[in-house]
Amino acid sequence: MKKVLQRSAAAAAGVVLALVGLAAPASAGDRYAGCPASYFCVWVNSDFNDGPGKWQNNEANYANYGHGTCPSGTWSNCVSSVFNNGQNCAVTFYDGTNYTGAFYYQLPRGSYLANLALDKWSDGTSPNDKISSHKWC
């Protein structure tokens, strides 16, 4: 049941996101042109490759949003580059679901981290392939 719900949510989200993506103009910039203004966007690989997953709202659990090339079939723990194309808020992303976890980072508006895998600290704080939720402002 849980899987069915997740698949349904992911499919519905995909349709909604696709429609909204068509409605809103893309920001300038070739590399992340698929990220519309006012969205937080994520990609599977570094340098905005394979994606984006995109949200205008807070999202407590990336497992609710499917993406075929991710190991789990969802965006959960599957993000290596991020872009905050929001216009008036920073977005905080977390390594835990439900806005929890020891790691979080507040990404300012208009900013991006193109390769989370560059994190070389060996203390378990690297966010690469660990992001599971985000919250605006």
Partner 1 sequence: MSRMLSVAVGLLVLVCGSACAPRAGTTGVQESGLSADALDLLTTSGDYPARKRVLDMAEEKLVERCMTARGQVYWPITSPPITTSDEERAVDLPRRRAEGFGLTGGARPPKAGPNDTQPAFQTALFGDTRHYQDLKLPNGNVLSYPASGCVAESRAALYTDVRRWARVDAIPQVVGNKLRAQTTDAPELAEARSRWVSCMAAAGYPYPKPEAAVDDLSNAYQQHGESAALRRREVAVATADGECALRAHVPSAELALRRARAYALPAAQQRELNDLGAVHCVAYEEAQRVVGETATAHPCLKK
What separation in angstroms does the CA of 14 have from each of 81, 86, 116, 118? 19, 20, 24, 29
- The dihedral through the CA atoms of 15, 16, 18, 19 has a sign that is positive
Q: 21, 34, 77, 119: which one contacts partner 1 (CB under 8 A)?
A: 119
Residue 105 as a binder of partner 1 (CB under 8 A): the answer is yes
x/- letters, 65..84, toward partner 1 (CB under 8 A): --------------------
Query: Residue 61 is encoded by which pair of tokens?
Result: 């659990």
Residue 4 engages partner 1 in binding (rule: CB under 8 A): no
Residue among 117, 61, 102, 109 at smallest CA distance from 83: 109
Q: Does 120 bind partner 1 (CB under 8 A)?
A: yes
Judge contact between 35 and 19, C-beta under 8 A.
no
The one among 14, 34, 45, 109 contacting partner 1 by CB under 8 A? 109
Q: Which residues contact 30 (CB under 8 A, 6 or more apart)?
A: none
45 binds partner 1 per the rule CB under 8 A:
no
Residues within the interface to partner 1 (CB under 8 A): 1-2, 5-6, 23-25, 27-29, 37-38, 56-61, 86-89, 96-100, 102-106, 108-116, 118-121, 123-126, 135-137
